[in-house]
Structure 1
Amino acid sequence: MTTVLAVANQKGGVAKTTTVASLGAALSALGRRVLVVDLDPQGCLTFSLGHNPDRLERSVHEVLLGEAEAKDVLLDTEEGMSLLPATIDLAGAEAMLLMKPGREYALKRALATLEGAFDVIVVDCPPSLGVLTLNGLTAAHSVLVPLQCETLAHRGVGQLLRTVREVKQITNPDLDLLGALPTLYDSRTTHSRDVLADVSDRYDLPVLSPPIPRTVRFAEASASGATVLAGRRNKGAEAYRELARNLVGYWSGESELEVLDQLITE
Structure 2
Amino acid sequence: MSMPATSNDRAKVVSKLPGWLRQNLKVRTAQLGIEIQTAVEQGITAWLDLASTTTSVDTAGAESFSTFLPQGQWEEFRRIAEDRRVSLTQGLAQSVQLWLDTHPAPDVQRPEITRRVVVCNQKGGVGKTAITAGVGEALAEDPNRLFPVRVAKALATALRASESPDNVPDAAYDPLDVEKLPGHGLRVLLVDFDPQSHLTNQLGAAPLAMNGDSLTNHMAGDPKGDLRDLIVPVDEENFGGRLHLLPSCHDAFLLDVRLSAVRAREAALERALLPLEADYDVIIVDCPPSLGLSMDAAAYYGRRREGEGPGQSGALIVVQAEDSSADAYDLLTNQMEDLRSDLALDIDYLGIVVNLYDSRRGYIATSSLQGWVDIKDPKVVGLISDLKEQKEAVRMKQPLLSYAPSSQQAVAMRALAREIS
TM range (shorter): 0.7 to 0.9
TM-score, scaled relative to structure 2: 0.56
Name 1:15's counterpart in structure 2. 127
392, 407, 410: which one pairs with 1:234?
A: 407
- Residues 5 and 123, structure 1, Cα contact 8 Å, conserved in 2: yes
Alignment of 1:86-97 (within 5 A): 86-97=248-259
Counterpart-to-counterpart distance in 1, 2:288 and 2:123 = 9
Partner of 2:200: 46
Q: Is the 8 A contact 1:22 1:240 kept in 2?
A: yes
In the alignment, which residue of structure 2 is the partner of 1:77?
234
Q: Which moved more, 1:40-49 or 1:147-156?
A: 147-156
Distance 1:121 1:54, change over 3 A: closer
Higher RCO (C-alpha under 8 Å, 6+ residues apart): 1
What is aligned with 1:100?
Answer: 262
| CA deviation map 1:130-185 (0-9, x unaligned) | 11111111101310110111243212211110111122223461210122111011
Kept after mapping to 2: 8 A contact 1:6/1:122: yes
Q: Secondary structure at the match of 1:155?
A: helix
Kindly indicate whether the alpha-carbon contact (under 8 Å) linking 1:8 and 1:145 is maintained by their aligned counterparts in 2: yes
Distance 1:224 1:114, change over 3 A: same
In structure 1, the partner of 2:280 is 118
Asked if the contact 1:143/1:176 (under 8 Å) is kept, the reply is yes
Confirm or deny that 1:134 pairs with 2:307: no
| Runs of at least 5 residues in structure 2 that lack an aligned partner in the other structure | 1-112, 142-183, 303-312
Which residues of structure 1 form unaligned runs of 5+?
249-266
Aligned residue type for 2:131: T
Matches within 5 A, 1:215-226: 215-226=387-398
1:2 equivalent to 2:114? Answer yes
The answer to whether residue 307 in structure 2 is matched with residue 195 in structure 1 is: no
Partner Cα distance (1:38, 1:93) in 2: 13
Query: What is the CA–CA distance in structure 2 between the aligned matches of 1:171 and 1:39, rounded to whole Å?
Result: 22
The number of equivalent residue pairs is: 247
**In terms of mean alpha carbon deviation, does 10-19 or 210-219 score higher?**
210-219
Q: CA deviation at 1:107?
A: 0.6
1:177 to 335, 349, 358: 349
RMSD over aligned Cα atoms: 1.9
Aligned position for 2:333:
161
Task: Supply the AA of the counterpart residue of 1:124.
Answer: D
Give the direction of change, closer, same or farther, for the CA distance of 1:218–1:172 in structure 2 (3 Å limit): farther
Cα distance in 1, alignment partners of residues 137 and 287 from structure 2: 18
What's the TM-score, normalizing by structure 1? 0.86
Contact persistence 2:220–2:262 (CA under 8 A) = no
CA distance in 1, matches of 2:204, 2:343: 34
Inter-partner Cα distance in structure 1 for 2:273 and 2:395: 29
* Secondary structure of the corresponding residue to residue 114 of structure 1: helix
Letter in 1 for 2:390: F
Report deviation, 1:72: 2.5
Aligned to 1:145: 317
Asked which structure has the greater CA Rg, the reply is: 2
Q: In structure 1, what is the equivalent of residue 67 of structure 2?
A: none
Higher deviation after alignment, 161-170 or 204-213:
204-213
Secondary structure of the corresponding residue to residue 184 of structure 1: strand
Write the deviation string for residues 57-79 of structure 1: whole angstroms up to 9, x where unpaired: 43212221231433232111114
| Conserved 8 A contact 2:267-2:297 | yes
**How much has 1:197 moved relative to structure 2?**
2.4
- CA deviation vs aligned residue, 1:196-232 (integer Å, no higher than 9, x gap): 222454x554332330111111111112222211123
* TM-aligned CA deviation for residue 25 of structure 1: 0.5
Q: Matched residues in 2 for 1:173 and 1:35: separation?
A: 24
